[in-house]
Amino acid sequence: MISKSQVKHIQSLGQKKHRDEEGVFIAEGPKLVKELLQNDQAEVRHVYALGEWIEINERSLRGIDALPVDQQELERISQLTSPNQVLAVVKKFETPEAIDVKGKISLVLDTIQDPGNLGTIIRTADWFGLSQVICSTDCADVYNPKVVQATMGSIARVKVFYVDLIDWLNAQQDIRIYATMLEGKDIGSMNSLNEGLIIIGNESKGIHEEIVKLVNAKITIPKKGGAESLNAAVAAGIILSKIT
Amino acid sequence: MISKSQVKHIQSLGQKKHRDEEGVFIAEGPKLVKELLQNDQAEVRHVYALGEWIEINERSLRGIDALPVDQQELERISQLTSPNQVLAVVKKFETPEAIDVKGKISLVLDTIQDPGNLGTIIRTADWFGLSQVICSTDCADVYNPKVVQATMGSIARVKVFYVDLIDWLNAQQDIRIYATMLEGKDIGSMNSLNEGLIIIGNESKGIHEEIVKLVNAKITIPKKGGAESLNAAVAAGIILSKIT
């Protein structure tokens, strides 16, 4: 049985303000929660789950208290339209103070505000072995429940930084900056890269002009049909598939 | 001023049953509605819009009646969380009885149930110049408002068919069937294709076993990191980028 104050507390974590204050976020569903429980980087604080889930996953819990809830209670605390067996409150991941971009490829996101897109981009970066994604401060919050869900567990493996993008890019020395744009060098002619920053822009507005000025190479995914643009996560996937 | 029965009627089009009965669907937002108004294949039946929108777009309307509504009325009829200026009721597109797969690449979707994913796949297919997408009957409905929205107008250019996938694939002669799977030939080693069926499967369940048996070539996007799978739309984009 879950108390009223617990329900209120968990619901409050749907808002960034409360997540920031407490340094935690919500993860839901058996797949994601299990992945977080198995990941040494993740500190799962509380688990709320159906009795059946707790019985089956007792070993995965490794001593973490799991409060049994019924379906109705789960619905009250869940951020999903179809709550799925288990919800966990997890400590936010630590990110190092300094961002190390040497010898690796990093994705840089300019104003990716759709939570599903941001989560899918993080998942895609993870698939292609990237260790970090650098976001402008006006991107969606990585701990937004919809972002967490869309990462499908990759949130525990990919470090996500938030920076003032113009300042930060201005400070980058000796590293090439690539930008995905509607006009540029055909991605098909690109070789694989060992190092670089790949900027993906907002779908409707593209990359900010001040940022475009800092770019060393513009790359493009040639358009063969009628669509005006590609989804940002799809574009990121195509580029990473080619250069990694 | 919109009548109660009009509101009820438009709201009912959120459900497939009512869309099927009336042969229409809903499109929302200035970008999508304008694209449909400009497209000769699209028959826009009714437009409900803020007065400002109607004033600016009078010419695009080409004689179609547009009923002015206020923000509150728009919110009542909209399927979006943030209604945006205009909503149109549009006749469903005609699709030919027979599906012609000769001399072209077609995407074939096995159980893509997430509306956003389906819409993004159609948009991606359009970007790469594909003219058709063939869906198993248990894919999301292409006229679901979330699918329509995610296609960003590509719904007017890409023909979408629904078939019993096993029967239909069994009947395909003289065309190669490719499937995107976790194990197969590296997409990097593929050449571009002029003709073929490319099957994309459900993200969590993959492609049905009975369908895998009908496949001529399995292709894979090599995984370099920790993510278990790629988003179906991202996978489709990577493959189309390589083979078109």
Find chain A residues with C-beta within 8 A of B116's C-beta.
116
Q: Residues A227, A197: one domain?
A: yes
Q: Assess whether pLDDT exceeds 90 at residue B63.
A: no
Q: Residues A182, A216: one domain?
A: yes
Residue B161 C-beta-side C-alpha neighbours within 13 Å: 18
Q: Residues B113, B197: one domain?
A: yes
Find chain A residues with C-beta within 8 A of B29's C-beta.
none
Share of chain B above pLDDT 70, in %: 100
Contact between residue A190 and residue A243 where contact means Cβ atoms under 8 Å apart: yes
Q: Assess whether pLDDT exceeds 90 at residue A49.
A: yes
Whole-angstrom distance, CA of residue B243 vs CA of residue A226: 18
Find chain A residues with C-beta within 8 A of B130's C-beta.
225
Whole-angstrom distance, CA of residue B154 vs CA of residue B127: 9
Q: Residues B13, B114: one domain?
A: no
Q: What is the pLDDT of residues A143-200, one digit of tens each?
A: 999 999 999 999 999 999 999 999 999 999 899 999 999 899 999 899 899 999 999 9
Q: Assess whether pLDDT exceeds 90 at residue A65.
A: no
Range of the domain at A137: 105-243
Contact between residue B144 and residue B116 where contact means Cβ atoms under 8 Å apart: no
Q: Which residue of chain A has the CA closest to B157?
A: A226
Domain-embedded: residue B99: no
* Pick from B124, B130, B153: CB nearest A231: B124
Indicate yes or no: CB of B234 within 8 angstroms of CB of A124. Answer: yes
- Residue A163 is inside which H or E element, if any? strand A159-163
Indicate yes or no: CB of A157 within 8 angstroms of CB of B226. Answer: yes
* 3-state SS class at A61: helix
Task: To the nearest 10°, report the CA torsion of A146, A149, A152, A154.
Answer: 60
Q: Residues A46, A22: one domain?
A: yes
* Pick from B123, B154, B234: CB nearest A237: B234
Indicate yes or no: CB of A231 within 8 angstroms of CB of B123. Answer: yes
Supply the DSSP symbol for B225: S
Q: What is the pLDDT of residues B78-108, one digit of tens each?
A: 998 889 999 999 999 998 889 999 999 999 9
Indicate yes or no: CB of B226 within 8 angstroms of CB of A128. Answer: no
Contact between residue B222 and residue B235 where contact means Cβ atoms under 8 Å apart: no
Task: To the nearest 10°, report the CA torsion of B28, A225, B166, B14.
Answer: 0
* Pick from A123, A152, A238: CB nearest B241: A238
Q: How many Cβ atoms sit within 10 Å of the Cβ of residue B203?
A: 19
- Select from B204, B231, B240, B244 the residue whose CB has the most chain A CBs within 10 Å, as the one to mutate to test that interface: B231
Amino acid at A108: V
Most confident of A107-111, B59-63, B180-184: A107-111
ipTM of the prediction: 0.92
Chosen domain end from B40, B61, B91 = B91
Number of H helices, E strands in chain A: 11, 10
Residue B36 has which token pair? 């449909």
Which residues, 6+ apart, have CB-to-CB distance to B217 below 8 Å? B176, B177, B178, B179, B184, B185
Q: Which residue of chain A has the CA closest to B203?
A: A152
Q: Residues A83, A162: one domain?
A: no
Domain-embedded: residue B29: yes
> Residues of A at the B interface (Cβ-Cβ below 8 Å)?
116, 120, 123-130, 152-154, 157, 187, 221, 223-231, 233-238, 241-242, 244
As a whole number of Å, the end-to-end CA separation of chain A is 49
Question: DSSP labels for B118-187?
Answer: HHHHHHHHHHTT--EEEEETTSPPTTSHHHHHHHTTGGGTSEEEEE-HHHHHHH--S--EEEEEEEEEEG
Find chain B residues with C-beta within 8 A of A229's C-beta.
127, 152
- Select from A238, A242, A243 the residue whose CB has the most chain B CBs within 10 Å, as the one to mutate to test that interface: A238
pLDDT value at residue A166: 96
Distance between alpha carbon A70 and the CA centroid of its chain, in Å? 30
Q: Residues B221, B123: one domain?
A: yes
Contact between residue A200 and residue A108 where contact means Cβ atoms under 8 Å apart: yes
Find chain A residues with C-beta within 8 A of B242's C-beta.
241
**pLDDT-based confidence at residue A218 (cuts at 50, 70, 90):** very high
Domain-embedded: residue B97: no
Indicate yes or no: CB of B231 within 8 angstroms of CB of A153. Answer: no
Q: Which of A171, A167, A122, A166 is nearest to A147 (CA)?
A: A122
CATH number at residue B46: 3.30.1330.30
Which residues, 6+ apart, have CB-to-CB distance to B78 below 8 Å? B28, B87
Indicate yes or no: CB of B225 within 8 angstroms of CB of A153. Answer: no
Q: Assess whether pLDDT exceeds 90 at residue B67.
A: yes
Q: What is the pLDDT of residues B102-157, one digit of tens each?
A: 999 999 999 999 999 999 999 999 999 999 999 999 999 999 999 999 999 999 99
Strands (E), B30-131: 44-49, 66-68, 86-91, 105-109
pLDDT value at residue B34: 92
* Pick from A127, A130, A244: CB nearest B230: A127
Chosen domain end from A32, A59, A91 = A91
Q: Which residues, listed in sequence order, are joined to residue A26 by a DSSP beta bridge?
A: A89
Q: Residues A8, A83: one domain?
A: yes
Contact between residue A134 and residue A161 where contact means Cβ atoms under 8 Å apart: yes
The domain tally of chain B equals: 2
Domain-embedded: residue A100: no
Residue B30 has which token pair? 């200035």
Q: What is the pLDDT of residues A74-130, one digit of tens each?
A: 999 999 888 999 999 999 999 888 999 999 999 999 999 999 999 999 999 999 999
Amino acid at A102: K
Give me the mean pLDDT over the A44-60 stretch. 94
| Min Cα–Cα distance to chain A from B154, Å | 6
* Pick from B187, B221, B225: CB nearest A130: B225
Residue A66 has which token pair? 């799991």
Give me the mean pLDDT over the A204-215 stretch. 93
Contact between residue A44 and residue A67 where contact means Cβ atoms under 8 Å apart: no
Find chain B residues with C-beta within 8 A of A153's C-beta.
226-228
Whole-angstrom distance, CA of residue A189 vs CA of residue A226: 23
* 3-state SS class at B17: helix
Whole-angstrom distance, CA of residue A208 vs CA of residue A212: 6
Find chain B residues with C-beta within 8 A of A107's C-beta.
none
Supply the DSSP symbol for B197: E
State phi, psi for A88 to the nearest 5 degrees.
-125, 145
Find chain B residues with C-beta within 8 A of A126's C-beta.
225-227
Domain-embedded: residue A111: yes
Q: Which of A154, A151, A161 is nearest to A108 (CA)?
A: A161
